């Protein structure tokens, strides 16, 4: 069996289950996880080579050195002469850092772009030390990388605008596990509006809270459940108190993936009110929206980034203008007031995931892509 090195600096984050879900579904390639730091446990039976393991008594030193130098030697040391058949980096910065390693191993490098890495402007990238090398090395990655996968058609167009070669940029939806995620029953549904996101500006959570405050008086049983954490949590909690409906707005923080899926089965809808920030950052697609759709839950999103590729307007949910609490509240209220519409849209959303976003089918297509790169 061939081996693929799955390259991600911060491995096994709660907010990124899609990376391991895809890798663990591979049939003809064995994943080997490569990264700087562990943010969670590896999948059962999976092998991970992590820089922090090189010196447990100096946890951050090898990782910090790699951040500054981009040297492939710590990974070569851990590989101890082993050579994966190719490397698959997730996110553009990882692609830049994996490029020297792939060159040393003389193997192809595939890089998947998920969102900020194709939309954030140079100033936004340079403001973050972890992304500065990416901002400076993106052109080299475009020239030397073997293949680039965009998580949506929207992101592919962004990469082409950044002078990535069209013949080496493909759209590839990661997909969701429609076998593990069964459609919920109507009896499981509650008047719950669910929002799953990192609490950052690009996710538009502020506008969702304002929209909920507009419809809350009409729907006294409805509540807003927010899963995720981030630098805006305190400010958003303060906004929730200012609306006067804080007791009906739940901030649950980051939760395990299984618990998130449980909340999806209870939700009347999932809302992703993402915005385009002043730095240019936009939503690449929205994996949580796909998971909710696989659960049979309708979605509401804004017409930015790749969100429109995950929601079929009027069929599986609604699309509204960004930064518009009034339009958002109308769409949410329409779904809350109409259980028949929710059921119909939820069933259509599930069918759409089975037809176009099934993880097994998409991962088989990924392995064909790997085969093509190696040949």
pTM over 0.85: yes
CA distance 204 to 282: 11
pLDDT tens string 218-242: 999 999 999 999 999 999 999 999 9
Same domain, 366 and 291: no
pLDDT attached to residue 356: 94
Closest CA relative to residue 366, chosen from 155, 149, 210: 149
Say how many C-beta atoms besides its own lie within 10 A of residue 180's C-beta: 10
Give the model confidence (pLDDT) of 319-355 as tens digits.
999 999 999 999 999 999 999 999 999 999 999 999 9
Residues 70 and 154 in one domain: yes
DSSP character string of 225-294: EEEB--TTHHHHHHHHHHHT-GGGEEEEES--HHHHHHHHHH-SEEEE-----TT-------HHHHHHHH
Which one is predicted more confidently, 122 or 244? 244
Domain containing 365 — which CATH number?
3.40.50.2000
Statement to judge: residues 28 and 115 lie in one domain? yes
Which helix H or strand E contains 315, and what residues bound it?
none
Phi, psi for residue 297 in degrees, rounded to 5 = -110, 130
At residue 124 the predicted structure's pLDDT band, cuts being 50, 70 and 90, is: confident
Strands (E), the chain: 2-7, 10-11, 29-35, 37-38, 47-50, 86-90, 109-113, 147-150, 169-171, 192-196, 223-227, 249-253, 269-272, 299-302, 317-320
User: Any idea which residue has 């090189």 for tokens?
Assistant: 54
Task: For residue 180, tell me if it sits in a domain.
Answer: no
Instruction: Please indicate, yes or no, whether residues 210 and 337 belong to a single structural domain of this protein.
Output: yes
Q: Same domain for 364 and 284?
A: no
Please check whether residues 168 and 144 belong to one and the same domain.
yes
Residue with tokens 């109308």: 330
Q: What mean pLDDT is predicted for residues 113-134?
A: 89
Looking at the structure, tell me whether residues 159 and 30 fall in a common domain: yes
165's CB contacts (< 8 A; 6+ apart) are: 142
Give residue 112's pLDDT: 98
- How many whole angstroms from its chain centre is CA 123? 22
- Rounded distance, CA 72 to CA 20, Å? 23
- pLDDT per residue over 7-39, tens digit each? 999 999 988 999 999 999 999 999 999 999 999
280 and 365 together in one domain: no
Q: DSSP string spanning 339-355?
A: HHHHHHHHHHHHHHHHH
pLDDT for the residue 64? 74
Q: What percent of the chain has pLDDT over 70?
A: 98
Domain identity same for 363 and 329? no
> What pLDDT digit, counting tens, does each position of 58-113 carry?
555 777 777 777 889 999 999 999 999 999 999 999 999 999 999 999 999 999 99
b/e map 83-97, b = 16+ CB within 10 Å: ebbbbbbbbbbbbbb
| The pLDDT of residue 56 | 64
Beta bridge partners of 249: 224
Q: How many domains does the chain have?
A: 2
At residue 212, does pLDDT exceed 60? Answer: yes
If asked whether residues 243 and 274 sit together in one domain, one would say yes
Mean pLDDT rounded to a whole number for the chain? 94
For residue 82, the enclosing domain spans 2-175+358-374
Rounded to the nearest angstrom, the gap between the alpha carbon of residue 211 and the centroid of all alpha carbons in its chain is 24
């Amino acid at each position: 069996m061939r081996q693929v090195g799955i390259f991600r600096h911060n491995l096994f984050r709660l907010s990124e289950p899609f990376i391991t879900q895809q890798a663990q579904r591979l049939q003809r390639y064995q994943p080997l996880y490569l990264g700087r730091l562990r943010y969670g446990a590896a999948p059962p039976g999976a092998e991970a080579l992590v820089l922090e393991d090189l010196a447990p008594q100096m946890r951050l030193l090898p990782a910090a050195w790699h951040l500054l130098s981009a040297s492939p030697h710590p990974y070569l040391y851990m590989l101890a002469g082993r050579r994966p058949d190719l490397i698959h980096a997730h996110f553009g910065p990882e692609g830049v850092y994996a490029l020297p390693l792939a060159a040393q191993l003389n193997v192809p490098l595939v890089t998947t772009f998920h969102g900020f890495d194709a939309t954030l402007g140079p100033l936004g990238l340079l403001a973050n030390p972890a992304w500065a090398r990416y901002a400076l090395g993106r052109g080299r990655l475009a020239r030397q990388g073997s293949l680039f996968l965009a998580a949506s058609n929207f992101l592919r167009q962004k990469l082409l605008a950044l002078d990535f070669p069209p013949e080496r940029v493909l759209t590839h939806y990661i997909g969701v596990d429609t076998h593990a995620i069964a459609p919920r029953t109507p009896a499981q549904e509650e008047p719950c509006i669910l929002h799953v996101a990192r609490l950052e500006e690009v996710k538009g959570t502020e506008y969702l809270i304002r929209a909920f405050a507009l419809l809350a008086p009409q729907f006294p049983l409805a509540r807003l459940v927010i899963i995720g954490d981030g630098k805006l949590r305190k400010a958003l909690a303060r906004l929730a108190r200012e609306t006067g409906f804080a007791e009906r707005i739940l901030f649950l923080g980051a939760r395990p993936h299984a618990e998130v899926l449980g909340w999806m089965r209870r939700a009347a809808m999932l809302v992703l009110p993402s915005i385009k920030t002043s730095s240019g950052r936009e939503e690449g697609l929205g994996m949580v929206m796909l998971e909710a759709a696989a659960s049979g839950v309708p979605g509401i999103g804004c017409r930015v980034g790749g969100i429109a590729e995950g929601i079929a307007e009027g069929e599986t949910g609604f699309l509204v203008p960004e930064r518009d609490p009034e339009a958002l509240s109308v769409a949410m209220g329409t779904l809350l007031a109409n259980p028949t519409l929710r059921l119909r849209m939820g069933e259509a959303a599930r069918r759409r995931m089975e037809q176009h976003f099934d993880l097994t089918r998409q991962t088989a297509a990924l392995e064909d892509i790997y085969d093509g790169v190696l040949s």
